[in-house]
Every structure is written in C-alpha cells, then in structure tokens.
C-alpha cells in the first residue's frame, strides 16, 4: 500500500478530527464546489460565459477561447488574471458578465447551515469569484446570515488564489491570524499557500488528492463539520 503523506487525515479514517481544530478561531470557506456539491454543475454555466466573453473581447472562435481559458487558469490561476495580465482587460465588466447565471440548480442545505452555525469564532467566505456573486450563492444555499464577511477577488486587488499574495491581502483586510485559522477548498492548488501560512487545510471534493499541504479530505462538508462541533 502506498504510504499516505504525513499530516493527512481522511474523514473515514481519522477518528478524532475535532482535536486538530481546537485552536481554530477563524473558518475560511471557498465558494464554488465547496459550499455546494460539484454535482449541481453550477460552474459549467460560468465556464460557458467565460468562453463567450473571451470570444467577444478577443475576436476569436470557441475552440481558441477554451484553449486560452485553460492556459490562463494553469498559468495565472484564473481566466480573469490571464486576461488582465496579457490583454489589460478591465475586470469589473468581466465579473458581472460571467456571473450572470441561473441559480435554480442550488437548494438550501439545512445540515450544512447547522454545521457552519455551530463553528466557534469568525466565519468567512473567500472566493476567486466576485462578492456579489458569492452572496447570491450563499442565499440560494440557505446560508445567509452565517458569515461575518464575504470576500471576492476584488478584495485581493484582483489577484487570484492560489497566489499567496492574494491570501495575504484578504487575510490582512480581515485581521486573520493564519495560525488560528482553517481553510476549506475544493482546488488543491489553493490550499498550498494557506498551509505555508500555518493554516489547517481541508480538501472538499468527491475524491482525495493526497499532498503534503492537505491535512484533511472530505466528500461531505456538512458531515465533517458536524464531527468538529458535535
């Protein structure tokens, strides 16, 4: 059996995850595919609108636009970061356009609401999307009123996760002490900087991707939180 990297605890095998979070005073949640399951495929709509926006702004076809989106995501962290750095694009119209989607696929999650509400200390959302978009997702999931703050990419001066500088800008704005904080994310890339900063990291996704910068994995965020607070 392949050895598991040191420091990783999976929800099915770690009998006492609560003990690893006793020091946490700030709980930081990503948004897309973290506060809702990826099976609803909400982000598919955003990707389609990203492609359309790139096509329109750069005057290219769909295949080339998709290729650029993938290239920018891998190279710069987000499509928006690539458009800004390589084409000088204004981020605000882009954020409005790509987040103008149908939220009807989302449904309230009472168990997740209870789990987040029971967390001691400060609770925030930090997304590479925009804060207004995040508020709409939060409302559709029945999570309004739970979070002390909601931060979008605009609060990081449009610098994207996984850049450590982006985290540092948002955390400084909020006054977060990373040594007393936990980060919940679906994208493993976006857990590397929080780990370096001293945060407890939780990968939220259907499948685990073991790495030294991931402390825990769960495919059931509500259940994981219940184990931390129950």
Q: For residue range 91-111, what is the model confidence (pLDDT) as tens digits?
A: 999 999 999 999 999 999 999
What lies within 8 Å, CB to CB, of 178 at 6+ separation is 171, 194, 197, 198, 199
Phi-psi region of 41 (alpha: psi -120 to 50; beta: other; left: phi over 0): left
Mean pLDDT of 208-215: 95
Write down the pLDDT at residue 30: 98
For the chain, give every residue range classified as CATH 3.40.50.1000: 9-38+105-229
Looking at residue 225, its pLDDT comes to 96
Q: Is the pLDDT of residue 85 over 80?
A: yes
Residue 182, pLDDT above cutoff 80: yes
- pLDDT at position 73, please? 85
List, in order, residues 6 or more apart from 52 with CB less than 8 Å away. 65
Class (C level, CATH) for 42-98? mainly alpha
Q: Is residue 183 scored above 70 in pLDDT?
A: yes
Confidence tier at 16 by pLDDT (50, 70, 90): low
Lowest-confidence range among 13-27, 34-48, 191-205? 13-27
Query: Which pLDDT score is estimated for 10?
Result: 41
User: 158 Cβ partners below 8 Å, 6+ apart?
Assistant: 80, 81, 84, 91
| Tens-digit pLDDT profile for residues 136-173 | 999 999 999 999 999 999 999 999 999 999 999 999 99
Angle value at C-alpha 171, between 142 and 132, nearest 5 degrees: 40
Whether pLDDT at 3 is above 50: no
Whether pLDDT at 78 is above 80:
yes
pLDDT band at 77 (very low <50, low <70, confident <90, very high): confident
Higher pLDDT pick, 113 / 43: 113
Tokens 């598991």 map to which residue? 4
pLDDT higher than 60, residue 222: yes
Strand partners, 9: 216
DSSP assignment string, 16-74: -GGGGGTT--EEEE--TTTTS-GGG-HHHHHHHHHHHHHHHHHT--HHHHHHHHHHHHH
Confidence band of 61 (pLDDT split at 50, 70, 90): very high
pLDDT at 14 over 70: no
Mean confidence (pLDDT) of the chain: 92
Contact call for residues 221 and 33 (beta carbons, < 8 A): no
Element (H, E) at 150: strand 149-151
Report pTM.
0.89
Q: Quick check: helix, strand or coil at residue 217? A: strand
Residue extent(s) of CATH 1.10.150.450 domains in the chain: 42-98
In the structure, what pLDDT confidence band is assigned to residue 15 with cuts at 50, 70 and 90?
A: low
Provide the token pair at 94: 């882009």
Superfamily of domain 9-38+105-229: HAD superfamily/HAD-like (3.40.50.1000)
Q: In what order do the strands lie in the sheet with 122-126?
A: 9-10, 216-218, 200-204, 181-185, 26-29, 122-126, 149-151
């Amino acid at each position: 059996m392949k050895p598991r990297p040191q420091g990783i605890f999976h929800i099915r095998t770690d009998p006492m995850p609560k003990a690893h979070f006793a020091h946490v005073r700030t709980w930081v949640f990503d948004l897309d595919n973290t506060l809702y399951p990826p099976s609803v495929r909400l982000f598919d709509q955003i990707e389609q609108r990203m492609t359309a926006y790139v096509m329109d702004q750069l005057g290219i076809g769909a295949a080339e636009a998709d290729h650029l989106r993938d290239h920018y995501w891998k190279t710069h962290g987000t499509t928006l970061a690539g458009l800004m750095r390589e084409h000088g694009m204004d981020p605000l119209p882009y954020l409005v356009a790509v987040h103008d989607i149908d939220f009807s696929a989302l449904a309230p999650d009472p168990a997740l609401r209870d789990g987040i509400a029971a967390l001691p200390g400060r609770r925030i959302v930090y997304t590479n999307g925009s804060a207004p978009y995040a508020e709409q997702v939060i409302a559709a999931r029945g999570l309004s009123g739970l979070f002390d703050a909601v931060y979008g990419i605009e609060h990081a001066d449009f610098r994207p996760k996984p850049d450590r500088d982006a985290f540092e800008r948002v955390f400084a704005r909020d006054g977060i002490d990373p040594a007393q904080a936990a980060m919940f994310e679906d994208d493993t890339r976006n857990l590397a900087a929080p780990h370096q900063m001293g945060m407890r990291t939780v990968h939220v996704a259907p499948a685990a991707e073991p790495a030294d910068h991931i402390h825990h994995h769960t495919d059931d965020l509500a259940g994981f939180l219940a184990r931390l607070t129950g």
